[in-house]
Structure formats: C-alpha cells, structure tokens
Amino acid sequence: MKGIWKNSEVKELFSIVEDYKGNNRSLKDAFISHAQKYGRKPNSVRNYYYHEVDNLKSDEKRLEKLGIDLSLHNKTAISYFSQEEEEKLMRDVDDMVKRGISVRKACLSLSGGDVSQMLRYQNKYRNYILKNKQPKEEKNNVITFKKTPRTLTDGEVQSLFMGLVRLVKKNAYEESESLYRDKLNKANDELRRLLTRLSSQERDFEKLKMEIKELRNENSALENKMFELRCRRAEDLNKN
C-alpha cells in the first residue's frame, strides 16, 4: 500500500535528500523524484520527510537501525524579510539580472555561497515578481491580441495560429529539455558513484600487490636462511 513506508524506502528518501543537497539541488526536486519512483504525491513525500526527521530525533534505536546521519537533515527555522530587506533584495537582484546574470546566480552571490539562503532569496524574488505582474521574460512569450473594430483577415488569423503553434512547440521543447536534464543529472550521479567505487577497488588492488610482493621477498629470505642452515649443518656433520 502507498500509505505504508518500508525502512528501505525511508533510507532511500533520506539518501536522495542528502544527494540533492550535496549537489546544490532543491529539496522540492528530490521529493518529486522520490514520488515518481514510488507512485506517491510530492507533497506527501515532503510532509513524511519532515515528520520523520522530528520522530528520529527522539528515537535513537530506529535512527541507528536506518543508519541515517541526522546532522545532514536539520530543518532551518523560518525567518521573515522586513520591508527594507525585501526592497533591497529586489533592487540587488534586478541590478544583477540587468547585467546578464541569471536570477539563480544572483541569489547565490548575494547569499555568499550559502545554498539554503540562495533558495530563500530566489523564492522570495520570484514570489515578489508574481505579485507584481509577470516577469519580463514571460511577457515576451505572450501573444497579445490587438483590439480592432474590423474582422481579422485570413492572413492575420493564419499568422496568429502559427504563433500559437510555435509557442506550443517551444513549451514542449522546454519541458522535454527539463526531463532529459534531470535524467542526465541522475546518470552523472551514478557515474560518479561508480568511478568512486572503481578508484577504491584500484587502491585495494595496488595494496594487495604490494603485500604479495613483500610476502614473496620474505619467503625468499626465509628460503635463503634455510639453505644457509642446512649448509652449516652439513659442515658440522662432516667435521664430526
């Protein structure tokens, strides 16, 4: 049943959260990824995660059994922007965007490299933009219909239709690109894990080769010693 969380799924959820945090990706995407795999709703996954974080703080046995490092899952307290802070943030981000810097990079720069703070700035800026009409980049994609007292010609209707077709295609391409980008990121993460394992195995192999070499040298030295002892014994017997 979807409502039941097995320990293996809980461990995987905490693991993917750690992975997304470590790669500076949003927790929202982590919850969506987990929800898609297990047929759950992203909001349900998010709510379960934060509820489980609180539960594990007081359940050391379960925490130890799951093998989760709770220090990687601390919840941050919500702090609100003052009017002055909000206005300054909007001005700073707008100035950087005008210089060709993306909103994400602008917020990361203003946060001093703190990813959680960057996400806070980014969400605040986007919410502010939504409250104060659409962002400029979205307005450029909107097809406006001029009010005219006359009937549109066939050519104008055709032109508007083609504009809508191009817009639909563009949105489809952007959605496909986002999907493949997520798959590419997952593939890259898996490749990094495999390379790390391979590197570890190579180090173990080199260490084993050195141990074998040392054992061979030790064995050779022992054989030489045995040969010397036999020679001495033979000499002693001949003397007697």
Using the structure block, give the residue that is written with the tokens 């493949």.
Answer: 180
Q: What is the pLDDT of residues 75-84, one digit of tens each?
A: 655 556 678 8
The confidence score (pLDDT) of residue 2 equals: 61
Contacts of 164 (CB under 8 A, 6+ apart): 143
Write down the H helix ranges in 41-132: 42-57, 60-66, 83-98, 103-110, 115-131
The confidence score (pLDDT) of residue 212 equals: 82
Report CA-CA distances (Å) from 189 to 27, 118, 186, 196, 219: 16, 23, 5, 11, 45
pTM for the predicted model, two decimal places: 0.36
Q: Indicate the range of 15-24, 144-153, 185-194 predicted with least confidence.
A: 144-153
Quote the CA–CA distance of 89 and 60 in Å, as a whole number.
41
